[in-house]
Every structure is written in structure tokens, then in C-alpha cells.
Amino acid sequence: MHSLHVKLSDEPELSSVCSALLLAFIENSRVLRYCSGGGDYTNTQNDFGDHQLEMDVQCELNVNTELKKTGFVSHTASEETPEMKLLSEGGKYIVTFDPLDGSSIIGTNFAVGTIVAIWKSDENLLIGKRGRDMVSACCCLYGSRTNVVFWNEKEQKVQEYTLFDGDKQGHWELTKDNIKIKPKGKLFSPGNTRCIAEHIPYREVVDYWIHNGYTLRYSGGMAPDICQIFLKEVGVFSCFGDAKNPSKLRYLYECAPLSFLTEKAEGKSFNGKHSVLDTEITGYQQKSEIIVGSADEIEFFKSVWKKHGLLKE
């Protein structure tokens, strides 16, 4: 049995769901430790003697398996399987997640992550809901260490926990408490820059960052590139597009949960029209543009959009 030492809600069912996720992240970290190159596994087995599946499918399976054990999750949907999957009849929550964000860069040994959103179950299975209806969210990173940024509903703050597995079981310890993103910070992580040749407003913002001494830190993985904002408590991540090179980020599995965490940490989010969290959910493959991070930096971004007639308030 894994040792958790973490309580993220006073509500027993939600606490159980959060604990299940932490257990899944421990197993995911072990799965990824034994992947090689672009995803093939060495000849290893997990603790139960089962041969490992292809890594992103295995990470998805780990999350669904632990959530099903709780009996409190009615449905899940993931970027790998973007449709509602029944787990437990009458479950109080729905979980949407990206089991392995950054799978395209894992072969270079860059950090990758799991991004999760927790919602109250409803008869429409989230259709018509908005990001602000989310109950909790988290993002786990698997790199030189395994850490997770989680909304602690019990204490009403964003926290970082780090996995310590020297005891062969694994337990989580609080390593950064009450994360608050500062309003200004010269760190930027621009996604989908292939579009800036024709996307004039986006190019103007990126040029501003470059010519005003901002530090570029971009790995190509949304999870690590946004989590650095929580740990440094400054900066922005952006991904916008045009007709030729649209943003490919998924709302339910990436943009909504990371925007939720950002706004809970006193940052802001924006999708070109409004806060990412004000987007109405219309489907399980819904995509979104996004910028998240330091509040004043988001306001500058919005001012450029307004200048070019893209934002009307």
C-alpha cells in the first residue's frame, strides 16, 4: 500500500478521488522510468507481473484503474479516448485528463506530465458546463523528480507535492505551499510559433517579449512549460493559431484544468475572447487557444488583441 500523507479535501468522496490520482501518478512515474527511446519498453514487468503496455495507453489505464476503485467517479474522458467512459454508476464526480502530455518529446528525456480536471457529475456529462464549474485540478510532472501541482480544496490554495519513493512504496510530501503567481514576470513560453509569419498580433506580442529582455523557456510540453510558472511564480505560456496552423490544445484535458490552477494561484487566463474558464463545453474533442500566467502580462496580451480589433469589450 502506498503512503500518501496528503489530504486535499474535507469532503470524503473528493478526498478519495484525489488520493486515487496520487496513486496513479506513482505508478505512471514507474512506467515512464522504464520506457526507452520513443516509447518502446525494456523487458520489464510491473509490481503485479503484468507486461507494460505502450506508455500513453498504460498511463491512461493507471488513472482509470485507481479512479474506478473509489466508486466515486461516474465517468472519465481523456485525450487518448475523448468520449465518456462509464466507471461507476451513481458516482459523484467526472474526471477528464490528458494521461501523458508531451509524449512527442519523451524520447529526448524531457519532462512530461499528466493533467487532470475533476467535475461534479451531471446528467449532460459536462455539456453546457463551463471551466468555472470545475471542482479541482492538478498537473503531475515526471522528470528528474516527480511532483504534482494540486488545488487543495480543503485549505483553498495551490500547492506542490513531491514524490519520495526511497521506501519502495512512495509517499508525497509538501514542497511548496500556497503558490501565488506574481502579476509581472519576464519569462515566456510561446507555443505554435509557426503561425506568427501570418498571425500579426501574435507576432507582435512575441516580438515585444524578445525585444524587452524576457527569458524564453519552452520545451514543447504544455505541462512542464506551465508548471514552471507555478514553481517560479512568474511568466506566461501561450498557444494561438490561424487557419493554416490552428491551436491543437484540447479544452477539457489541457486548457481548462491548467487555467483553473492558474487562476486559483492569482494568475489569469485568456483565449482571445475571455477567460478560458468562461468557455462553454460543447464536446469532448473541443479545442482552445490559450495564454495563462502573470496577470499584468495577460492584460498586455489582451491590449494587443484589442488594438488589432480582435477583442471587443
CA distance 53 to 47: 14
Position 170 scores a pLDDT of 85
Q: Give the cell for residue 257.
A: 484544468
CA distance 219 to 285: 24
Residue 72 near residue 93 (C-beta atoms within 8 A):
yes
pTM confidence score: 0.93
Q: What is the 3-state secondary structure (H, E, C) of the chain?
A: CCCCCCCCCCCHHHHHHHHHHHHHHHHHHHHHHCEECCCEECCCECCCCCECCCHHHHHHHHHHHHHHHHCCEEEEEECCCCCCEECCCCCCEEEEEEEEECHHHHHHCCCEEEEEEEEECCCCCCCCCEHHHEEEEEEEEECCCEEEEEEECCCCEEEEEEEECCCCCCEEEEEECCCCCCCCCCEEEEECHHHCCCCHHHHHHHHHHHHCCCEECCCCCHHHHHHHHHHHCCCEEEECCCCCCCCCCEHHHHHHHHHHHHHHCCCEEECCCCCHHHCECCCCCCECCEEEECHHHHHHHHHHHHHCCCCCC
- Determine the 3-state secondary structure of 182 from DSSP: coil
Question: Which range among 5-19, 84-98, 208-222 shows the weakest confidence by mean pLDDT?
Answer: 5-19
Q: Which amino acid, residue 264? A: K
DSSP lists the bridge partners of residue 238 as 190, 291
pLDDT tens for 18-66 read 999 999 999 999 989 876 555 554 344 433 333 335 888 899 999 999 9
Position 37 scores a pLDDT of 52
pLDDT tens for 224-279 read 999 999 999 999 999 999 999 999 999 999 999 999 999 999 999 999 999 999 99
- pLDDT surpasses 90 at 106: no
Burial class (CB in 10 A: 0-12, 13-18, 19+), 47: exposed
- pLDDT surpasses 90 at 116: yes
Residue 148 near residue 138 (C-beta atoms within 8 A):
yes
Sign of the alpha-carbon dihedral angle for 48, 12, 133, 241: negative
Per-residue pLDDT averaged across 66-73, rounded?
Answer: 98
What percent of the chain shows pLDDT beyond 70?
91
Residue 133: pLDDT band by 50, 70, 90 thresholds? very high
